[in-house]
Structure 1
Amino acid sequence: MRFRHAPEIWADHPTLAAGVLVVDGVSDRAAPDDPVERYVDQARERLRNGPASALPQLQAWRRTFAAMGLKPTQYRCAAESLLRRLGKDGTLPRIHPLVDLCNAASAAAAIPVAALDRDRVKGDLEVRRAHGDETYTTFTGEVERPPPGEVIFADEAGQAHARRWTHKQSGTSIVRPETRDVLIVSEALHPGAAADVEALLTALAADVAKAWPGVAPRVTILTSTRPAVELAG
């Protein structure tokens, strides 16, 4: 299995910074409560300093969504949605230990983080523009077809594992109790994004290794000249 961004994505978004964290052998029995709470506290501090929409990390995504023809107040990147939920509810939902850790880290950094069950991805996974014949399954099981040109995470079977780039993942490859092998992807577009994405994934890797003893997370930073990473399995 290989993960990559299509050449046109790098060409159209020259400020893109992306990285992946490959995790093999997780379970739902870990309890990374300390790092989750630490990240949530950092996210709360961000919100105390002003609205999430004013953060440069999220402003960059808003500009990108607008350029793609999406209303930034209707379709938000996942990190902004998490911060808005934290501001409203005072906490983040608990779903799965690894997802909780990724969500908290995403909110703290104001950078989107996606966690996908690799066993549910068919062949290579590519961030690219939709052809119009791909299928996307919502969390409630409804099937949609992304329109041609929309940025999606697409596998070789024509499954879209995310719509509107960093807006929302698919119900097909969400992390479940039985999930063992995970691909974590982080992407950003703001000034200084490359260093921030690397720092975010490096910290996540350390948290994962501590919460799941024996697991050896692997971080890879992607660039326009190194746009792909080969994954085991």
Structure 2
Amino acid sequence: MAADHEPVDQPTPALDFDGFLADCRVDPEVFALRPDYRSLLLVVDGLDPEAAGAHAESAADELITAAESHASSLLAANPVTELPHIAAWREAYRAFGAKPQRTRNSLEALTRRAESGLPRVNALTDIYNAISVLHQIPLGGEDLAGYVGTAHLTRAAGDEDFDTVSGGDPVIEHPEPGEVIWRDEAGVTCRRWNWRQGRRTALQEGTTSAVFILDALAPMTDADLDAAGTTLANELARLGTGVRVASRVIGAE
């Protein structure tokens, strides 16, 4: 008779940073709209929700306070629609048929809210929202556990699934044909470039691996984009003892 054996826990495979980042892509049709567009992708693994909890909340509080102060200073000098980076994104939205006065890019929406108080969601989301306002760049974060394949920025056919909430209930919507969307093999992860993220890949309290996407248009320089990514990477690196961060910039060239 064979001897009984205790089950052996198998180690979790290490995230394939190089493979994931190499397969992420931006379609030429997007660069045709804005040749100045660049995407900085950060892949993060080893986030420890329990160990990092107190630090994450403290870091988020400090960043949010700084972001709210920065937004107040910016808006004291200029209307929100005339802030250079927000104006660039309003122009980009018009290029694919969106109405920026009705559909606000994530940077504009956050900057408008920051003056009276940024929303609080969870520590990871709060940190990247604050960095978005501080560096004036649209920035989104998603849980890699919800991904099917890798990130792909393209123009929608119109039949892609987008898992969202309407009236408090989960629903599946579809983007407009020609709309700029981030997607994976299962459907849309973010509509209208950086307007609204879906539920399927949303960051959770227990997220351990994530991808962060920073969207840049002129007048944001490559140095400015790198600075925003460095700030984010430094904050994330403190959210666990084994955090690993890798990055890639995708541009028209």
After TM superposition, the score normalised by the length of structure 1 is: 0.88
User: Could you tell me which residue of structure 2 aligns to residue 108 of structure 1?
Assistant: 134
Question: Which one of 175, 180, 192 corresponds to residue 151 of structure 1?
Answer: 180
Task: Tell me how far 1:188 sits from its aligned partner.
Answer: 1.8
The total of aligned residue pairs comes to 222
Quote the Cα distance in structure 1 between the aligned partners of 2:75 and 2:232.
Answer: 21
Task: Tell me how far 1:133 sits from its aligned partner.
Answer: 2.0
Taking structure 1 as reference, are residues 164 and 27 closer, same or farther at Cα in structure 2, changes over 3 Å only?
same
Task: Tell me how far 1:117 sits from its aligned partner.
Answer: 0.7
- Asked if residue 137 in structure 1 is aligned to residue 186 in structure 2, the reply is no
Deviations 1:176-210 (A, max 9, x none): 11211110001121223322221101111112213
The farther-off stretch of 60-69 and 32-41 is: 32-41
User: Could you tell me which residue of structure 1 aligns to residue 97 of structure 2?
Assistant: 69
1:1-233 map, 5 Å:
1=20, 2-28=23-49, 29=53, 30-31=56-57, 32=59, 33-87=61-115, 90-139=116-165, 140-157=169-186, 159-225=187-253
Q: Secondary structure at the match of 1:138?
A: strand
Check whether the contact 2:148–2:184 (CA below 8 A) recurs between aligned residues: yes
Aligned amino acid, residue 237 of structure 2: A
Task: Tell me how far 1:99 sits from its aligned partner.
Answer: 0.6
Deviations 1:130-155 (A, max 9, x none): 12221001144211011221111111
Quote the Cα distance in structure 2 between the aligned partners of 1:10 and 1:153.
Answer: 14
Quote the Cα distance in structure 2 between the aligned partners of 1:35 and 1:198.
Answer: 18
Quote the Cα distance in structure 2 between the aligned partners of 1:40 and 1:150.
Answer: 31
Quote the Cα distance in structure 2 between the aligned partners of 1:59 and 1:173.
Answer: 28
Computing the radius of gyration from Cα coordinates, the structure with the larger value is 2
Quote the Cα distance in structure 1 between the aligned partners of 2:125 and 2:151.
Answer: 20
Quote the Cα distance in structure 2 between the aligned partners of 1:11 and 1:174.
Answer: 29
Check whether the contact 1:16–1:193 (CA below 8 A) recurs between aligned residues: no
Structure 1 regions of 5+ residues with no counterpart? Answer: 226-233
Task: Tell me how far 1:56 sits from its aligned partner.
Answer: 0.8
Quote the Cα distance in structure 2 between the aligned partners of 1:83 and 1:124.
Answer: 29
Q: Secondary structure at the match of 2:24?
A: strand
Check whether the contact 1:22–1:217 (CA below 8 A) recurs between aligned residues: yes
Check whether the contact 2:138–2:194 (CA below 8 A) recurs between aligned residues: yes
Task: Tell me how far 1:214 sits from its aligned partner.
Answer: 2.9
Taking structure 1 as reference, are residues 104 and 187 closer, same or farther at Cα in structure 2, changes over 3 Å only?
same
Check whether the contact 2:97–2:179 (CA below 8 A) recurs between aligned residues: no
Quote the Cα distance in structure 2 between the aligned partners of 1:129 and 1:74.
Answer: 20
Q: Secondary structure at the match of 1:131?
A: coil
Check whether the contact 2:48–2:239 (CA below 8 A) recurs between aligned residues: no
User: Could you tell me which residue of structure 1 aligns to residue 5 of structure 2?
Assistant: none
The farther-off stretch of 211-220 and 118-127 is: 211-220
Check whether the contact 1:20–1:183 (CA below 8 A) recurs between aligned residues: yes
Quote the Cα distance in structure 2 between the aligned partners of 1:193 and 1:55.
Answer: 15
Check whether the contact 2:38–2:252 (CA below 8 A) recurs between aligned residues: no
Q: Percent identity?
A: 33
Taking structure 1 as reference, are residues 210 and 44 closer, same or farther at Cα in structure 2, changes over 3 Å only?
farther
Task: Write out the 4+ residue segments of structure 1 that deviate beyond 6 Å after TM superposition.
Answer: none
